[in-house]
């Protein structure tokens, strides 16, 4: 998809125009995601959050169509405050694929991204740090990346509409907020 990003001056104006609008989420979850370890599962029922848990894949199944919005993915252009405009008047959502690093590619193969007329791919800035204790016994842990709930909260801060309630059930929320305090301040958010 073509990158039609505004200039820095336009970015500031767009961010001011969209500040305060709630960021809604669609979380597409892999069928193997362990609900006991999942950071999104405790948020089920939260307003503005839809969790689509895919079942076990079956031969010949149709791809799941991904709607318009902002898809968070690694190696895409960085998410910036002006990207809030891409979510429109509540019609677009921030889309997150919820899976382990190893399961991310198989999950992506089950999705149809071409059907979304306005799907914008973005990544989070690399200066965010996770507080989630990762320790795979089978695979090497990636150097970067956040727990899903951390990525969701960081996105809302960047887009100028912090949703602190997303961290209410997250065991490592205090650590995450402290680790990223300076980054959040750069985006204009400081916990009071």
Determine, yes or no, domain membership for 42.
yes
- Reading the block at residue 177, the tokens are 């907020």
3-state SS class at 25: strand
Determine, yes or no, domain membership for 90.
yes
pLDDT-derived band at 144 (thresholds 50, 70, 90) equals low
Q: How far apart are CA 166 and CA 110, in angstroms?
A: 27
Determine, yes or no, domain membership for 32.
yes
Q: How far apart are CA 30 and CA 166, in angstroms?
A: 20
- For the cut 90, the answer to whether the pLDDT of residue 11 exceeds it is no
13-49 pLDDT tens trace? 444 444 457 899 999 988 888 777 788 888 999 999 9
Determine, yes or no, domain membership for 169.
yes
Determine, yes or no, domain membership for 157.
yes
Structural domain range at position 65 = 8-186
What integer pLDDT is reported at residue 32 of this predicted model?
Answer: 84
Determine, yes or no, domain membership for 192.
no
Determine, yes or no, domain membership for 182.
yes
102-140 pLDDT tens trace? 888 888 889 998 877 789 999 999 999 998 765 544 444
- Domain tally, the chain: 1
């Amino acid at each position: 998809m073509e990158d039609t990003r505004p200039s820095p001056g336009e970015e500031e104006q767009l961010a001011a125009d969209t500040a305060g609008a709630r960021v809604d989420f669609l979380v597409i979850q892999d069928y193997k995601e362990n609900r006991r370890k999942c950071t999104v599962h405790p948020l089920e029922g939260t307003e503005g959050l839809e969790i689509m848990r895919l079942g076990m894949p079956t031969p010949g199944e149709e791809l799941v169509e991904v709607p318009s919005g902002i898809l968070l993915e690694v190696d895409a252009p960085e998410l910036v405050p002006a990207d809030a405009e891409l979510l429109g008047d509540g019609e677009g959502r921030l889309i997150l694929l919820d899976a382990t690093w190893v399961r991310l590619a198989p999950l992506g193969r089950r999705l149809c991204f071409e059907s979304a007329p306005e799907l914008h791919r973005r990544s989070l800035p690399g200066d965010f740090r996770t507080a989630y204790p990762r320790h795979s016994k089978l695979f090497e842990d990636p150097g970067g990346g956040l727990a899903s709930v951390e990525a969701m909260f960081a996105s809302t801060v960047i887009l100028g509409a912090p949703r602190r309630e997303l961290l209410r059930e997250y065991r490592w929320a205090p650590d995450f907020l402290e680790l990223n305090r300076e980054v959040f301040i750069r985006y204009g958010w400081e916990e009071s």
